[in-house]
Structure 1
Amino acid sequence: MRILLVLAHPLPESFAASVARAAREALEASGHVVDLLDLYAEDFDPRLSEAERRGYFDVPYDTSAVAGIVDRLKAADGLVLVFPQWWFNFPAILKGFIDRVFAPGVAFTHDTAGGRIVPQLTNIKLLYALTTTGSPWWLVHVYMGNPVRRLLKRGIANFCAKRVKFRMLSLHDMDRTTDAKRKTHLERVRKALAAV
């Protein structure tokens, strides 16, 4: 498989970068081709432009400003997102990636009857999210209802790709975790990606 591995963290020495390395190594060791898209290193602009918003319902929608990344997404069989959760949400750069790249004609088309959208990322067979959160498990799951998982699984995965295999691996309480727990999480990531 060809995997688009998207990293969304500004610090190259971050734990997220370590997770991305572990994921890449495990995937490549299993014979997969990995295309690393480091959003910060590639200076991705997350801002949806005025022209992009005004033309949102144009057919065809103009993706020329992100054409290179759209091509990389369309060439992939799987998508692995690596990011921290900040304020129970995506980092702004990852949200902008979704806003600008998961666009009409790329990730979905508008149903001409109105209301519904039709998935277009038929090439994507798996969507994995490898994430961390500063909050403990109970706060994310019980109090907040795990909003990032809901957005990814019920929204993006279901609306953009049919029958996609979805999995989310999270390290909770990141701000107070130990080296041993981080190492255990990296092993968990390696094991999960080696099984792809």
Structure 2
Amino acid sequence: MKVIIYTHPYQESFNHAILEQMEKIYAEQGQDYQVIDLYKDNFQPVLTAEQLKIYSSGKTSDPLVKHYQELIKQADELTFIYPIWWHNYPAMLKGFFDRVMLHGFAYESNDEIPWQGLLTYINKCTVITTSTITKQYLEEECGNPIQNTFINRTLADVGIAPEKSNWIHYGKVDLTPREEHDKFLDNLSNLYKNGQN
């Protein structure tokens, strides 16, 4: 199953158009997929004192967290769709990792195993981002946060090897005309049709 993890609050955004395009692609291919829409689900990204009491044991009392974990367990492919705010992913998505990627579910760590990611069953991961700045600027001037931090560290730490991940970015989203947006969406379809994503 394919799972899309979508992080944007505004339904008129270009991010939402990307989500709709991905749903269209999967539907046309007859793929089994589910969407985790963090804002629509009213996901609470902040760890509370109560939650921290059981955090180290890998437990949660939040049924939405348990639901997300069950979806991910059934997945062989993940797609993240989110805007880049302040040169990195939104706080909502950071909270998703804090609260969902728990010990015993996403990673193992003990005296014998310092750290081992457990989501090794994910065969492919696509990260689709948008921003007012270009991919080149993110790479050269901002420390390449998506590749270096999100893909090479965060995803790798939960067992998704960097070579399984692909980052697609749309920059200058606020300055480009609708025609360029449409071209990007069409290119997404072509990538998935040709298996190049």
TM-score (norm 2): 0.89
**CA–CA distance in 2 between the matches of 1:62 and 1:94?**
19
Matched position secondary structure for 1:64:
coil
Instruction: Render the CA deviation track for 1:31-64: whole Å, top value 9, x for unaligned.
Output: 3111011111111111122233343332xx1133
Over aligned residue pairs, what C-alpha RMSD do you find? 1.8
**CA–CA distance in 2 between the matches of 1:88 and 1:74?**
30
Instruction: Render the CA deviation track for 1:36-94: whole Å, top value 9, x for unaligned.
Output: 11111111111122233343332xx1133111111111111111111100001111111
Matched position secondary structure for 1:55:
helix
After TM superposition, list the pairs within 5 Å mapping 1:36-185 onto structure 2.
36-58=35-57, 61-65=58-62, 66-113=65-112, 116-163=114-161, 165-185=164-184
**CA–CA distance in 1 between the matches of 2:61 and 2:70?**
10
**Residues 131-140 or 33-42, more deviating:** 131-140
**Residues 64-73 or 156-165, more deviating:** 156-165
Contact 1:111 1:118 in 2 (8 A): no
Letter of the 2:4 counterpart? L
**CA–CA distance in 1 between the matches of 2:139 and 2:120?**
30
**CA–CA distance in 1 between the matches of 2:52 and 2:90?**
21
Matched position secondary structure for 2:127:
strand
**CA–CA distance in 1 between the matches of 2:52 and 2:120?**
24
Instruction: Render the CA deviation track for 1:133-173: whole Å, top value 9, x for unaligned.
Output: 11133321211132022222211222212546201110011
**CA–CA distance in 1 between the matches of 2:66 and 2:135?**
38
After TM superposition, list the pairs within 5 Å mapping 1:13-52 onto structure 2.
13-52=12-51
Matched position secondary structure for 1:79:
strand
- Structure 1 residues 73 and 131: alpha-carbon distance in aligned structure 2, compared to 1, 3 A threshold: same
TM-score (norm 1): 0.89
